[in-house]
């Protein structure tokens, strides 16, 4: 057990029991922006408790997929099921109920510059709950301790490095012990040491809280480290979904080209059109 396991105590025991169920499901989802189609009849299941990593070329629709899952976008057609509820037609109140069990780590950390670290972490709690202030302070402390930023609650985001900001963003995402955490490029712009730290935090969060995680990334090392399964998006669809081992052995030429392109720092497969 590492220190995070001890902090979160016995929550761990429930973490792996329910892996066969589905936490998020997309059924025949279509999505366009103006004339441009981004997703075509996409079907996807994210199993309860798994970490699904989504990869694919720039512009393939990876962030769009995450934003659909948290109800920040509505699909043109199709169904999006989250924790047993179809969310694509829910109003803001309904979506806020669903989001109570979801955390999101945005691509550029998305911290409020005018708020302290503690206020940033507590933002969702103050918005979504009537939790008393003393409990909120306990949650801030616990969440910051989880990401190794104990005692930083009164610091302003401008005083933090990029890696620390990502960790605050992660603390905010897990503050209410969500069932689901969505990560958009959690290691982008970070040095390898900080990337490793973030990868470890993602894995600990999944293991300790038992969360279902969907991680969008271009970082293949990170993908192979943290994923239970990897899904590759290309040309409006998910063209492959497999465990990391199966993915490495994939005979799909687009998958092979993408993996080697990213590894060799070349331009990966391009989208048609
Ligand atoms: P990257 O890896 O570069 O972040 P991505 O795979 O996450 O890319 P998305 O951000 O989902 O791709 O965007 C997919 C396409 O949809 C892009 O061409 C993008 O410009 C377009 N797009 C995304 N959001 C909007 C929007 N709100 N309005 C119009 N077009 C959008």
* DSSP assignment of 143-193: HHHHTT-TT-TTS-GGGS-HHHHHHHHHHHHHTT--SEEEEESTTTT--HH
d(C-alpha 15, C-alpha 51), whole Å:
12
List ligand 1's pocket residues with C-beta within 6 A.
33, 38, 56, 58-64
pLDDT at 119 over 90: yes
Q: 66 CA distance to ligand 1 centroid (A)?
A: 11
Q: 2 CA distance to ligand 1 centroid (A)?
A: 38
CB 68 within 8 A of CB 102: no
d(C-alpha 165, C-alpha 111), whole Å:
8
Residue 13 DSSP code: G
Report the nearest-CA residue for atom 4 of ligand 1. 58
Distance of CA 195 to the CA centre of its chain: 15
Pocket test for ligand 1, best of 63, 68, 187, 214 (most atoms within 8 A of CB): 63
- At residue 42, the 3 state secondary structure works out as strand
Q: What is the pLDDT of residue 192?
A: 87
Atom of ligand 1 nearest to the CA of 61: 11
Q: How confident is the model at residue 107 (pLDDT cuts 50, 70, 90)?
A: confident
Report the nearest-CA residue for atom 22 of ligand 1. 33
CB 11 within 8 A of CB 36: no
Report the nearest-CA residue for atom 15 of ligand 1. 59
CB 198 within 8 A of CB 171: no
The share of the chain scoring above pLDDT 90, in percent, equals: 58
Atom of ligand 1 nearest to the CA of 185: 4
Q: What is the pLDDT of residue 268?
A: 56
Residue 213: Cβ within 10 Å count: 27
Report the nearest-CA residue for atom 20 of ligand 1. 59
d(C-alpha 145, C-alpha 24), whole Å:
29
Q: 27 CA distance to ligand 1 centroid (A)?
A: 20
- Whether the model pTM is above 0.85: yes
In this predicted model, what pLDDT tens digit does every residue of 245-256 receive, in sequence order?
A: 999 999 999 998
Closest CA to 170 of 10, 98, 162: 162
- The backbone torsions φ and ψ at residue 79, rounded to the nearest 5 degrees and listed phi first, read -120, 145
Q: How confident is the model at residue 205 (pLDDT cuts 50, 70, 90)?
A: confident
Q: What is the pLDDT of residue 269?
A: 58
Query: Residue 268 is encoded by which pair of tokens?
Result: 């990966």
Q: 266 CA distance to ligand 1 centroid (A)?
A: 21
Counted residue by residue, the chain has a size of 273
Bridge partners, 85 (sequence order):
82
CA distances from 118 to 14, 179, 206 (A): 29, 22, 23
Report the nearest-CA residue for atom 29 of ligand 1. 33
In this predicted model, what pLDDT tens digit does every residue of 15-50 receive, in sequence order?
A: 444 445 999 999 999 999 988 999 999 999 999 999
Report the nearest-CA residue for atom 31 of ligand 1. 33
pLDDT at 12 over 70: no
């Amino acid at each position: 057990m590492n220190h995070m396991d001890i902090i979160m105590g016995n929550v761990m025991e429930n973490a792996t029991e329910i892996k066969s169920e589905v936490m998020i499901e997309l059924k025949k989802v279509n999505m366009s922006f103006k004339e441009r189609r981004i997703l075509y009849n996409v079907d996807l299941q994210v199993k309860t408790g798994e970490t699904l990593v989504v990869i694919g070329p720039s512009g393939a629709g990876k962030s769009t997929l995450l934003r659909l899952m948290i109800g920040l976008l509505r699909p043109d057609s199709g169904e999006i099921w989250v924790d047993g509820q179809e969310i694509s037609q829910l109003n803001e109140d309904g979506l806020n109920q669903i989001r109570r069990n979801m955390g999101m780590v945005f691509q550029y950390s998305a911290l409020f510059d005018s708020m302290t670290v503690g206020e940033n972490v507590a933002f969702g709690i103050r918005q979504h709950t009537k939790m008393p202030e003393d409990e909120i302070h306990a949650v801030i402390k616990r969440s910051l301790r989880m990401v190794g930023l104990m005692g930083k609650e009164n610091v302003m985001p401008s005083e933090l490095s990029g890696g620390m900001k990502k960790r605050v963003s992660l603390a905010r995402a897990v503050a209410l012990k969500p069932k689901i955490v969505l990560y958009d490029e959690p290691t982008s712009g970070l040095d390898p040491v900080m990337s490793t730290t973030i990868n470890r935090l993602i894995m600990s969060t999944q293991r300790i809280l038992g969360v279902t995680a969907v991680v969008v990334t271009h970082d293949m090392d990170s993908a192979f480290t943290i994923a239970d399964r990897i899904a590759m998006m290309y040309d409006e669809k998910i063209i492959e979904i497999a465990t990391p081992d199966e993915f490495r052995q994939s005979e799909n030429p687009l998958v092979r080209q993408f993996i080697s392109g990213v590894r060799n720092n070349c331009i990966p497969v391009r989208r048609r059109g």
